[in-house]
Structure 1
Amino acid sequence: MSEQSASGLKRWIDDRFPMTSTWRYHMSEYYVPKNINFWYYFGSLSILVFVILILSGIWLMMYYQPSAEQAFSSVHFIMRDVDWGWLVRYMHTTGASAFFIVVYLHMYRGLLYGSYQKPRELLWITGVLLYLVLMAEAFMGYVLPWGQMSYWAAQVIISLAGAVPVWGEELVIWLQGGFIVNEATLGRMFAMHTVALPLVLLALTFVHIVGLHHVGTSSPDGVEIKKLKDANGKPLDGIPFYPHVVIKDTFAFGIFLILFCGVLFFVPDFFGYFIESPNLTTADPLQTPESIHPTWYFRAWYGMLQSIPSQNLGIVVMLGASFILLFLPWIDRGQVRSIRYRGLGYKVGLAVFTLSFIVLTWSGSKSPTGLPVLLGQIFTVVYFGYFVFLWAYTYFGFEKTKPVPERVTS
């Protein structure tokens, strides 16, 4: 195609669809801080993993049978008899854990650099909502193989809805499609996992990206690059997303895919963390596994649940631990964003908060007796205590911060 023809085609499209202006707004003329570091890779990596999961999931749907009698055997048919079926299935299971890894690191970057503070409150909220929907999506996907752990995890998690006042029992029956976990339950999980929740995730992702490009990417220094612009209106401390950041993200994609394929081809179960051995046995309602616990990315919340003797209180605490993240922009009243310039108390508090999440993840993988329960109780208090400390520390002006530079540092 000649240059003149290409130009004519572009004008024809622009008259009917804002292709060029959209490209400029979101790519070539969208400026990001020039000192972004590796922490900023995880947002784009989460999109990459999401695409892997959608493509592999569509392929798996062609062979999977959402039936209590055939679900388990259809998964093994994919693994053994379908050409490259084992590869696509492992792409999906490895991708699920990889998704949570990059999302957790992406959210942690927000904590490090105060990416939830003004004017990014709504951006943070949409991100947390994405995470909450992702947890529901992952749980329903975990049920679909219809192995022992899938069945009993569904039994435990769905029964928690019974704690809802007034409508609890009716809600459990509706979710199960009957009085016990059965084929109707599997059908509901399949519909939600493959259609409903992916649509919600896509919508929230769109809103999240549009919101990001409206307020701009935060910098590791917490400096707003929009404040200082040259005569042409371009940020002095910014670089265009395309091609500079795209090249960096492409490099990150390459490193990530090397690690991803290393797990995919050599340890797809990742020593029992990505695919648990009880789930290699078909679901049996008459035989309870020795230990029922969720997959690794839910275990911090499960550690809270099993450490509290009252189930209803445990459910409230577990849900509160997730939903409290929505209010973080108003809990943290600090005037400085980046951890580079925040007070020692904030740094120690964030370190202890991180430790609490790790310990709770460990306790959620153990039987609810002895030391795991004790540590679960202690670090549940520490987890919520962090938010109380953060509010008091910043609201009453205890934090002693360092001077924030007017421009981003190299």
Structure 2
Amino acid sequence: MARRLSILKQPIFSTVNNHSIDYPTLSNLSYWWGFGSLAAIRLVTQIITGVSLAMHHTPHVDLAFLSVEHIMRDVKGGWLLRYMHANGASMFFITVYLHILRGLYYGSYASPRELVWCLGVVILLLMIITAFIGYVLPRGQMSFWGATVITSLASAIPVVGDTIVTRLWGGFPVDNATLNRFSSLHHLPPFLIAGVSILHPAALHQYGSNNPLGINSSVDKIASYLYSYVKDPVGRVAFAIFFSIFVSYAPNVLGHPDNYIPANPMSTPAHIVPEWYFLPVYAILRSIPNKLGGVAAIGPVSVSLFALPFINTSYVRSSSFRPIHQKMFWLPLADCLLLGWIGCQPVEAPYVTIGQIASVASFLYFVITPILGKLEDRLINTSSGEGKLPCFFVTTSIMYAISSLG
């Protein structure tokens, strides 16, 4: 018994115990707080299936598409590996997007969790890079033209743009050197994501998860074991069923039909459309006629996400107690869905005009956030001592808190 206790006191076991078993977690966390651990499971699945596929994929312009067909037809279980990896990327983005939306709604980015949020944004950017590089590897028609269009955007950068494009391509066309470079680069970002994913929960555990009520997270805590380990698997099983339906019954529904045609540099597709998780950014990119302007418009998207914790001015975290923000939260979500729809439409009227309006509207949330925080705080605090302000917001907050705790 004493020897067993001494083993458990070893650094590696004590670290695992402190951060996964005895780690104090809030007792009122809902299923929305399970998408972080679910994303970690998706990452592990993507790495395992990706490494397995890399053993059979041939990064050569004449053999890449055929090697994918070889995996599907000749490798035992290859069809499952390919469909799990291809659809797993979509599932990974769905999980992360829901995780981000939960953080936006409940104010999980607010102080003192700025580092947690910023590390999450870094993970998202690395995911986008990894997914784009991986999309090029099958050497389908849409993969080829997507790589040609997106990488050529770097040519809009003054002075060094053409040099960057040439370095990316390894020559002047998107050819064998390009495919070799992208194949090599595709294997690095997933492990960078894994590294940042370790830092992400480490930063989270410094202050604990954000309380759904928006109050101090240092009270009303219980051990993670048996609570999270019973509650979270329910969401994981539900998501696994959702994932398995796509893999088993609709494995190609999320992909573009043209990508099941071998790449043909002499035949340009009628509409070049990226994967669905790139569509909102792609819509912003093409809404600006000038190539440099389109590239410059993408930068503020990531900058705005990084800046969100630092431009927040509200003392109240959760939207449950911010009636105005609770309604404003749905505007960026609706705008993102609109941009996604515009991104898969032809570049013609009225889609171009709608995309331009939606692109401008996508930044309004980040402009309104600091103003809205001060406005709501002022509505709650101003003149409250003189009895001039009806206690609507305060009363609503107290009633919600009582009902939630009950």
- TM normalised by structure 1 equals 0.91
Give yes or no for the alignment of 1:225 onto 2:217: yes
- Asked whether the equivalents of residues 84 and 247 of structure 2 are also in contact (C-alpha less than 8 Å), the reply is yes
The AA in structure 1 aligned to 2:405 is T
**What secondary structure, in the 3-state scheme, does the structure 2 residue paired with 1:293 have?**
coil
Runs of 4+ in 1 over 6 A off after TM superposition: none
Q: CA shift at 1:23, angstroms?
A: 2.7
Q: 2:14 aligns with which of 11, 21, 26?
A: 21
Q: Which residue of 2 aligns with 1:210?
A: 202
Corresponding residue of 2:177: 184
2:26 equivalent in structure 1: 33
What is the CA-CA distance between 1:409 and the residue it aligns to?
A: 2.6
Aligned residues: 389
For residue 202 of structure 1, report the CA deviation from its aligned partner. Answer: 1.1
Contact kept? 1:343, 1:400, Cα under 8 Å:
no
Cα distance in 2 for residues equivalent to 1:118 and 1:256: 31
Per the alignment, do residues 20 and 172 of structure 1 end up closer, same or farther by CA in structure 2, a change over 3 Å counting?
Answer: same
Give 1:187 shift: 1.2
After TM superposition, give the deviation of residue 19 of structure 1 in Å.
2.8
Residue 396 of structure 1 and its aligned partner are, at CA, apart by: 5.5
2:264 aligns to what SS in structure 1? coil
1:220 counterpart SS class: coil
Given that 1:123 and 1:211 are in contact with CA atoms closer than 8 Å, whether structure 2 keeps it comes out as yes
> Does 2:60 match 1:80?
no
**Hey, what does 1:321 align to over in structure 2?**
301
Structure 2 runs not aligned, ≥5 long: 381-392
Q: Contact 1:68–1:183 at 8 Å: present in 2 too?
A: yes
Contact 1:342 1:399 in 2 (8 A): no
**2:3 pairs with one of 3, 8, 26:** 8
Corresponding position of 1:383: 362
Rate the CA distance shift 1:212–1:73 in 2: closer, same or farther, 3 A: same
Report matched runs for 1:35-50 at 5 Å. 35-50=28-43
SS in 1 for 2:35: helix
Distance 2:158 2:14 in 1: 51
Unaligned ranges ≥5, structure 1: 229-236
1:127 paired to 2:120:
yes
The structural deviation recorded for 1:399 is 5.9
Choose the corresponding residue for 1:245, options 224, 228, 233.
228
Q: Which residue of 1 aligns with 2:390?
A: none
Q: Which residue of the partner structure matches residue 306 of structure 1?
A: 286
CA distance in 1, matches of 2:13, 2:377: 49
- Show the counterpart of 2:389: none
Partner residue of 1:361 out of 332, 340, 348 = 340
Letter in 1 for 2:233: T
What does residue 232 of structure 1 align with? Answer: none
Contact preservation (8 Å) 1:308, 1:314 = yes
RMSD of aligned Cα (Å): 1.8
The answer to whether the aligner puts 1:260 opposite 2:243 as a matched pair is yes
Q: Give deviations 1:129-185, integer Å, cap 9, x for gaps.
A: 100010000000100101000000000110111122321111111111111111111
The offset of 1:397, in angstroms, is 5.7
CA distance in 1, matches of 2:21, 2:177: 49
Q: CA–CA distance in 1 between the matches of 2:114 and 2:306?
A: 9
The structural deviation recorded for 1:113 is 0.4
SS of 1:243's equivalent in the other structure is coil
Specify the code of the residue in structure 1 equivalent to 2:74: D
Distance 2:338 2:24 in 1: 39
**Conserved 8 A contact 2:319-2:326:** yes
Report how far residue 390 of structure 1 moved.
1.5
